[in-house]
Amino acid sequence: MFAYLDNSATTKPCPEAVAAMVEALETGWGNPSSLYRFGMDAARRLKAAREQVAKALGAESDRVFFTSGGTEADNWAVASSLARMGKRGRHVITTAVEHHAILNPMKRLEEQGYDVTYLKPDALGRVTLDALQAAIRPDTVLVSVMMVNNESGAVMPIGSMAKLTHRLAPDAIFHTDAVQGFLKLPFQAKTLGADLISVSSHKVHGPKGAGALYIRRGLPLPPLLLGGGQEGGYRSGTEATPALVGFGAACAAALPTLREDLAREAALRDRCAALLEAIPGVELLGAREAPHILLASIPGVPTQNTINILQDHGVCVSAGSACAKGHRSHVLEAMGLPPEVVDGAFRISLSRFTAEEELAQLEAGLRTVVERMRRP
């Protein structure tokens, strides 16, 4: 049996997404901007996909703008926000535990003369409201805080943070990278309070190459790409209709049983935590707040060794973020964990398709890791 426990890296496309993509590739491959019937059929499919994603986000469909994924949506949010704010301020706030799709644009901003404050997490990976309040200044123009950390599973108080930002810095824009929170936590874009929200398709059983940026009504941003004026003029370029149709289908498939699925994932997470706690040498880390993420470590055993042995047992887990290869986790370092814990850390991430048997397979594999690596 193959136990796939790396769903925060990517998810298996659900049958509904695959079927919708195949149909779009075979019969709906026209250009959505074309004015004849074949093109208008593609446009209809694109409109339906936007409505499906918007419903899952709790947003009006005309506030959802498609991208190639979460990284593009994050980069767009940062760059366009500051272009809009102009010379109103040079202070930006984010956290030390963001995805590199935020951290690397922040480094570029520092090179351009912006003052960037990186909020530090506690030992469980959580960033507090008090930390944000202490950091906001009169010249703050952008705050970007992720909804769920992709390594620790910590959940940030995004609604309260957005409200605080708008009260203390009324002109500032508040963005959240919700890639790990979308369809994992209950929220409605219309009431969350964030001005900008980034989401991704392949984290929710849709295809890779699709994502979206929610833009609050009344917040005009400069275009991301110039050209034919697609996506309301914000992002020019012929839309990747099959991928976006798959994204929409994945969202629609998740909604009917979402509450039950998330409760089941949280129960599996807790069951997994109990199994790991019973294995000598395994330490649980992180806040354990998101229903699908569990962080652990075998101090003294390099993560790659753990991954290799588990792979031999047919189990897939991750060395922190799969998007940043070959680097020690900046998230775990920011949490203040000892080097031997950081170097032995691995992440388990679940989905609605995770089976109980996969956890038993993980347990057996980890017992082999501990026995083999601790052998004199």
Residues 6 or more apart from 203 whose CB is under 8 A from it? Answer: 7, 8, 10, 11, 70, 179, 180, 182
Examine the residue annotation and report whether 251 is marked as an active-site residue of this protein: no
Angle at which helices 258-277 and 356-373 cross, to 10° = 20
d(CA 265, CA 271): 10
Which residues lie closer than 8 Å to 20 by C-beta, 6 or more apart?
245, 246, 248, 249
Among residues 14, 251, 272, 323, which one is catalytic? Answer: 323
- Residue 312's Cβ-count burial label (10 Å; 0-12, 13-18, 19+) is exposed
Active site residues: 323
